[in-house]
Structure formats: structure tokens, C-alpha cells
Amino acid sequence: MSISADILRGHTDTIILAQLMAGDSYGYEINKSISQQAGGAYGFKEATLYTAFKRLEQNGMITSYWGDDGPGARRRYYAITEAGMRQLAADRQEWSETKTVLDALILKEED
């Protein structure tokens, strides 16, 4: 069972920021981590993921650097910034409010 794209729209950046709070990471790993935490119910498409990284970096929410270490293909690591942390805090607050409002509107009296 997967969740439709439009429902997740707008949460993409928040989810990535939340992942980066656990420490620097790179695209592929972040995505695997998300899928795992979502119980396989959800995962970003690559295009979505890299579009989001670009957007977040342009907005100063994250910074990136090339990791030279590991085996396999080169990895671009991302780190959350101060601004990113502030944004995440705000997003979490908004998510809580959204839940309250949508529960009232969608589940109302559950006919």
C-alpha cells in the first residue's frame, strides 16, 4: 500500500531535513532509510529526491560536500544548517496543526 504523491507534496523537504538531523548522509542512503522507516509504504523517486536537495541547498537549509571514502560510486553528502533546523522545527509544528485540522475535516463524525 503506497501513499499518493499529492498527499506527500510539501512534506518532501521536511522529511529530508528530519533525516539529516540524525547526521550527514547522502541521497541513496537517505532514501533507503526513509523507505525503511515508512515500512516500505513510501519512498521518493530519484528525480524527486535530487530536485529536493537542490531546492533545499538553494534555500540554505542544507549544505553539501563530496565524500571520497567508501567503495562504489562517489557520494555527495548533505548536512543540515542552522536555518534548516529552524525550518524543521517550524515544519514539525505545522504538521501537528495539520493533523488536528484534517482530523476535524476529514474524519468528522465518520458517517
Binding site for DNA (CB under 7 A): 5-6, 8-12, 26-29, 44-55, 70-77
Q: Does 39 bind its own copies (CB under 8 A)?
A: yes
**Nearer Cβ to its own copies, position 18 or 75?**
18
**Nearer Cβ to its own copies, position 39 or 70?**
39
Q: Does 14 bind its own copies (CB under 8 A)?
A: yes
> Among candidates 31, 36, 18, which has minimal Cα distance to 94?
18
Single out the segment in contact with its own copies by CB under 8 A; choices: 24-32, 36-44, 54-62, 68-76: 36-44
Residue given cell 537542490 in the structure block:
54
Tell the smallest beta-carbon distance from residue 8 to DNA (Å). Answer: 6
Within a 10 A sphere around the Cβ of 27, how many other Cβ atoms?
19
Which residues within the stretch 42-81 sit at the binding site for its own copies (CB under 8 A)?
42
Residues interacting with its own copies, by CB under 8 A? 1, 3-11, 14-15, 18-19, 21-22, 34, 37-39, 41-42, 91-92, 94-95, 97-99, 101-102, 104-111
